[in-house]
Amino acid sequence: MPATEPATEPAVSQSLTVVVNEVQELLRRVGDGQAEALEGVATALTDATAVFVHGAGRSGIALRSLAMRLMHLGLTVHVVGETTAPAITRGDVLLAVSGSGTTAGVVRAAETAASVGARVVAVTNASDSPLSRVASLTLLLGAASKTDRSRSASEQYAGSLFEQAVLLVGDAIFHTLWRRSGQTAEAIWPRHANLE
């Protein structure tokens, strides 16, 4: 029989406060401690011939949100594994996300990208990981790992805080690039999907 914690019945509003507080604290630390890396990611994305994004599970889903927004800006963006994604080449960037930095498929893709001369940008919690070692730039989020069940780094389950940070950091990067581009909301709207 699986182990259970003592039964508690928090209100959803209490859980929402936990999530908001954890995200706020983590993003404050990232903004303070990783400002140079954040700017480096923004520059790498805009300097790339094409941007490829890759992540597994929920991290990958969060990263796809940034891919969509970069497309709205007019960048050429591909999601690794989609049937329409071409080969990555020199001049391209692979934005690779893995909390542990050890996700096998993500690390293999990063190694392939580096071997053809593409730039690898990693988003991870682990500075000394296979993904970080192959990357030319690493953004460290410092969230709880999905295997940390101590609840000391986060009360949330299985890496949720990392995935939330990927989504929100992606939105902040998009917002920055959008404002820098000078494009109006009306100008980028025609790139929004119309086959929904």
Write the pLDDT tens digit of every residue in 153-191. 888 988 999 999 999 999 999 999 999 999 999 999 999
Catalytic residue among 39, 163, 186, 196: 163
pLDDT of residue 1: 53
Q: Tell me how many domains the chain contains.
A: 1
Residue 107, CA distances (Å) to 110, 118, 184 in order: 5, 14, 37
* Containing structural domain, residue 85: 22-146+155-179
Q: What is the mean pLDDT of residues 5-19?
A: 85
- Please check whether residue 3 lies inside any domain of the structure: no
pLDDT of residue 40: 98
Is 163 part of the annotated catalytic residue set? yes
Asked whether the CA dihedral 27, 103, 127, 48 is positive or negative, the reply is negative
- Please check whether residue 53 lies inside any domain of the structure: yes
Three-state DSSP at 96 gives: strand
pLDDT of residue 149: 73
Tens digits of per-residue pLDDT, 62-114?
999 999 999 999 999 999 999 999 999 999 999 999 999 999 999 999 999 99
| Domain at 163, CATH number | 3.40.50.10490
pLDDT at 6 over 60: no
What's the first-to-final CA gap in the chain, in angstroms? 45
pTM: 0.92
pLDDT of residue 7: 61
- Please check whether residue 187 lies inside any domain of the structure: no
